[in-house]
Structure 1
Amino acid sequence: MKYITVGAVCLIAAAFPIYRNSVGVRPVAVDGYEQSAKIAEYHNPDAFITSAQLQQLMESDQAPVVIGTLNPMKLDPVIDGSFTVWRSDYSTTDDVYPFDGMRSDQQAMEAMLSSFGATPESTIVVYAANDHHDAGRLYWQIKMLGHEDVRILDGGLNAWVGADLPTGNGNPDVAETSYQAPAYSEEELATYDMVVQATNDSDWVILDTRSLAEHDGAVTESGAFGPGTIDGSEFLEWNRVLNKDTTLKTREELQMLYGDLIKGKKVIAYCQSGVRSAHTTLVLKEILGAEAVYNYDGSWIEWSHAHYKSKNPTATIING
């Protein structure tokens, strides 16, 4: 039988804070006045909320449903009174597609929101830590249900912790509801066939939101079937929309970033599995007011499967 020595325990104890600092949430200080003024200039300011506004809402009688998309391996604190999920909680089961990363269906989303006590009239606030693209993905899936009042916490858990607001006591016991989607729609969903058509249509721009290493084919992330990028796609990494404090940039800054690229175009955003691209879809639609924006749910995982595994000639790539 093997035993852990006292020295090993001390080493683990000493290393744990270093581990937490390297992977955990990074607190940031955000000027609430400037943040509110920035959001007011967005095309749809009601899609966003600040930490101070969320705290006031949670202390009121409105009882919002707050959901954090937090990686359980990182052991981040949770906003007090919020629910926590991770990607497997809102992704489909493995036997539906021959690859991973696809969104869960309407019934599964309804069941999840029912377990959180949500109704179609609830205010739902989603948040994440550090990068915030996972909150963008969940936002996109909830909006697909036709839920009207969904908001994303600008700066996420970083801003909340930086403001020294309450954490802990997550996943409260609530009375389960029978949530039903008000108006389920796949209007903002890009399918494989749509992407194929868009590769040969000048009215469309296909936007690769991954890292430069993924776009160039130097890196193949786990789950994909080979390197490369969709032939004809433009590259603009999703995280260029964020400030150093992880809050979103101003509408003017984002217009300068995307304006010429998407002007007069219909847009399909993609990444590895539709997470980072969902965040881009949110930015283009809710901040800039772009109308024809679609998130490719299958993204590079599906496209690379079609190219490398299925040998589908319509799945053309470069940088492979």
Structure 2
Amino acid sequence: MQDDPQSLVSVEWLAEHLNDPGLRLLDASWHMAATCRDPRAEFDSRRIPGAQFFDIDAVSDSGSDLPHMAPPPEVFAAHMRRLGIGPDDQVVVYDDADTHSAARAWWTFRLMGHERVAMLDGGLKAWTAAGHDLAHAEPRLRDPVDYTPSPRPALVRDAAQVEVASRDGGEQIVDARSPERFRGEAPEPRPGLRAGHIPQARNVPVGRLYDDSGRMKPLPELRAAFEEAGVDLSRPVITSCGSGITAASLSLALERLGHRATALYDGSWAEWGADSNLKIATGDA
């Protein structure tokens, strides 16, 4: 039984609805550079039937020097038209990535006002483990359709807003990076970044949200992960990580817990760690 079919769907649900005329399936895999994996090449070789590729780096703000920042509405709309996705379509995003990057695609759709979007629980691995077929031939392109986003700026925060939250505590900051990176004990994978975390932030490593199969944990375990980190789920939360990818898993988990006052710090540590004018903290929260 699914806890929240509006934001997370099972392999069984997808198999039943795969041929629905209003379903649009997207592979949103994204990998850290150190893995040397090419998500587009992997998609071209094996994917769930009917899927198209959602390129997180391309569906972004090309005018920013930060990685994969949220796209301007007109850029998002152009990609949706190319993919043949309409504003009323049911979108399901999945990945084959340790970063659980489909959650970032889910958040991007939500930011653009697209409510009918869900992530496939367990991603491609869960699909293949259930014995379902994969497609290998050239994906069929859909006819372009009109798409007009309805952006929801309340779902995103910039550095200035996060600095205020860090100082006055009006919004809690929750960081999805590993404990070692959060404490400043491990080097950052991106060169030139300081080690540590945003002052007053709490740490809920993204791995706490998923089980060994890659499925998101049950609601009681998600709630415990946040509460054990000192997060008050009755108060607003800003999610953060290295570059805005795994922070989206925090946002999705909070959505499943019924937490609506959640925003994502899009620049995350790629921005904060590079700016010497912004204060940092080290050690435990």
TM-score (norm 2): 0.88
Amino acid at match of 1:52: E
Against the structure 1 CA distance between its residues 120 and 99, is the aligned structure 2 distance closer, same or farther, given a 3 Å change threshold? closer
User: 1:280-317: CA deviations, max 9, x gaps?
Assistant: 111102x111121111000001112222xxxx2xx110
SS in 2 for 1:302: helix
Q: Which residue of 1 aligns with 2:123?
A: 156
Q: Tell me how far apart the structure 2 counterparts of residues 165 and 179 of structure 1 sit (CA, whole Å).
A: 32
Deviation at 1:204, TM superposition (A): 2.6
Contact 1:206 1:233 in 2 (8 A): yes
Deviation at 1:208, TM superposition (A): 1.3
Contact 1:83 1:170 in 2 (8 A): no
**Which aligned segments of 4 or more residues in structure 1 are displaced greater than 4 angstroms?**
none
**Which protein has the bigger helix share?**
1
Q: Which has the larger radius of gyration?
A: 1
Q: Tell me how far apart the structure 1 counterparts of residues 70 and 257 of structure 2 sit (CA, whole Å).
A: 25
TM-score (norm 1): 0.79
User: 1:212-234: CA deviations, max 9, x gaps?
Assistant: 22212221112553222112211
Q: Tell me how far apart the structure 1 counterparts of residues 120 and 147 of structure 2 sit (CA, whole Å).
A: 23
Deviation at 1:202, TM superposition (A): 3.2
Against the structure 1 CA distance between its residues 251 and 98, is the aligned structure 2 distance closer, same or farther, given a 3 Å change threshold? same
* Alpha-carbon RMSD: 1.9
Against the structure 1 CA distance between its residues 177 and 224, is the aligned structure 2 distance closer, same or farther, given a 3 Å change threshold? farther
Match of 1:273 among 243, 267, 275: 243
1:25-174 equivalence runs, <5 A:
37=1, 39-40=2-3, 44-60=4-20, 62-71=21-30, 73=38, 75=42, 77-93=46-62, 96-131=63-98, 133-168=100-135, 169=137, 171-174=139-142
* Percent of aligned pairs with the same amino acid: 25
Deviation at 1:176, TM superposition (A): 1.1
Q: Which residue of 2 aligns with 1:306?
A: 275
1:241-252 equivalence runs, <5 A:
241-252=209-220
Q: Tell me how far apart the structure 2 counterparts of residues 202 and 160 of structure 1 sit (CA, whole Å).
A: 42
Unaligned segments of structure 1, at least 5 residues: 1-36
Q: Tell me how far apart the structure 2 counterparts of residues 105 and 224 of structure 1 sit (CA, whole Å).
A: 27
Deviation at 1:245, TM superposition (A): 0.9
Against the structure 1 CA distance between its residues 173 and 101, is the aligned structure 2 distance closer, same or farther, given a 3 Å change threshold? closer
SS in 2 for 1:247: coil
1:201-240 equivalence runs, <5 A:
201-217=168-184, 218-222=186-190, 225-240=193-208
Against the structure 1 CA distance between its residues 203 and 64, is the aligned structure 2 distance closer, same or farther, given a 3 Å change threshold? same
Q: Which residue of 2 aligns with 1:180?
A: 148
Query: What is the total number of aligned residue pairs between the two structures?
Result: 269
Amino acid at match of 1:293: T
Q: Tell me how far apart the structure 1 counterparts of residues 192 and 113 of structure 2 sit (CA, whole Å).
A: 31
